[in-house]
Amino acid sequence: MATVRRRTWTTRAGDRREAWRVRYVDQHGITRTRQFDLKRDADAFRIRAEGEVVAGIHTADRASVTVAEAADLWLASAAANGCDRSTLKTYAEIARVHIVPLIGDEKLSRLAAPKVVGFRDALLETRSHAMAARAVRHLSMILSDAVERGLVAQNVARGVKVKRPRADGLRQRLAKRAEIPPKAHLQALIAAADRGANRDPALPVMLRLAMLAGPRQSELRALPWSDVDLAAGVVTISRRADRWNTIGPPKSAAGMRSIPIGPALVALLKTWKLRCPPNELDLVFPSRAKGIVKQHAMAAKLLRVQIEAGVAVDSGKKTADGDVILKARYGWHDLRHAAASAWIAQGVDLKRLQVWIGHENIQLTIDVYGHLIKDAKKDAELARGSESALLA
């Protein structure tokens, strides 16, 4: 049975002080005390502590860890459970930069929803809405892990949300829409890669595969010949290479997929397979050292071919000699969009498009490519049909 008693004392300066002390026994049989300035706060804590002790989930202040310590435990657990390296890096950066500086010293036992709301408001004053939302979401993940460990009774961040301004939501939805490179630019890239085939014989094949099958750059870098079925005309995506060139499975289950390819690309891959340098990883596109091509090398390949094709753009910078420095107009992801737009033009249904492109849910596919799905002839037929139904 918990008790609340008033405690009074006199300071060395002769000032009289008063506080309210809660005394209780936790679920482990250990006597605990906690002191409050106001009786209402002491009474509220007594009621909450008694319920938590009965449920066996109470954590005393002295036994509690801080948010920063809980974040370290969460990160260690994510690493132990096989979370990929790039995701771990993102988790660690968000915790180090956005969570620990603002709320890291707070003990979990003293953390309440109002304090999380204050944390959210502090984020919104200094960060974007998107980053504030991510930080609050990651704090909730940290607390969920702490609940599983028995370090805190509940996840008080679960109900705290960052409301997205309506205008920002519209901008973000529009920003998701894929911008498709014009067909003339795609053809110019292919022609430039073909002209430079003696220097980089893999690039013409790589570009065509990116434009026609839509793999991500990380998936291209890790693609093995065992996942290319030339007889059936199917490329299977079963793995990716991260920024550190570590090969692993795709980030999500949706990333595991099989994509059909046409006879011209099959013929080109057959020819390339005969020329492809043998390598221990069985890579379709190995580096010159017969390993995985690095991310910056992939970017350099694409920039070079865009300069040669005449589609690169002014970066706004100049060399010491005053020459304009060019930058890539398109990234590898834009070639992936080109594949999706070609499928849509051929009448591929949304579900098949979602599977081939490797999206986790169909809403993402609609957000990115929905504006490309047009059928003027069908629209006109529907309009005539509705007129007939209502006015005939």
pLDDT value at position 371?
A: 80
Residues 6+ apart with CB under 8 A from 384: none
Q: Does domain 67-175 have CATH number 1.10.150.130?
A: yes
pLDDT of residue 160: 93
Q: What is the pLDDT of residue 125?
A: 93
Per-residue pLDDT of the chain (392 residues; tens, 9 = 90+): 789 999 999 988 889 999 999 999 887 788 888 889 999 989 988 988 888 888 777 777 777 899 999 999 999 999 999 888 888 999 999 999 999 999 999 999 888 899 999 999 999 999 988 899 999 999 999 999 999 988 888 899 999 999 876 555 545 554 556 788 999 999 999 999 999 999 999 999 999 999 999 999 999 999 999 999 999 999 999 999 999 999 999 988 999 999 999 999 999 999 999 999 999 999 999 999 999 999 999 999 999 999 999 999 999 999 888 889 999 999 999 999 999 999 998 989 999 999 999 999 998 888 888 888 876 666 777 788 777 777 86
* pTM given for the model: 0.71
Domain with CATH 1.10.150.130 in the chain: 67-175
CATH code assigned to 183-341: 1.10.443.10
Half-sphere exposure of 36 (CA within 13 A, CB side): 16
pLDDT of residue 174: 46
Residue 366's pLDDT is: 87
Tell me where in the chain the CATH 1.10.443.10 domain(s) lie: 183-341
Q: What integer pLDDT is reported at residue 53 of this predicted model?
A: 82
Q: How far apart are the first and last CA of the chain?
A: 81
What pLDDT sits at residue 376?
63
Structure tokens at 49: 């502590």
pLDDT for the residue numbered 51:
85
Write a three-state SS string for the chain: CCEEEEEEEECCCCCEEEEEEEEEECCCCCEEEEEECCHHHHHHHHHHHHHHHHHCCCCCHHHCCEHHHHHHHHHHHHHHCCCCHHHHHHHHHHHHHHHHHHHCCCEHHHCCHHHHHHHHHHHHHHCCHHHHHHHHHHHHHHHHHHHHCCCCCCCCCCCCCCCCCHHHHHHHHHHHCCCCCCHHHHHHHHHHHHHCCCCCCCHHHHHHHHHHHCCCHHHHHHCEHHHEECCCCEEEECCEECCCCCEECCCCHHHCEEEECCHHHHHHHHHHHHHCCCCCCCECCECCCCCECCHHHHHHHHHHHHHHHCCCEEEEEECCCCCEEEECCCCHHHHHHHHHHHHHHCCCCHHHHHHHHCCCCHHHHHHHHHHHCCCHHHHHHHHHHHHHHHHC
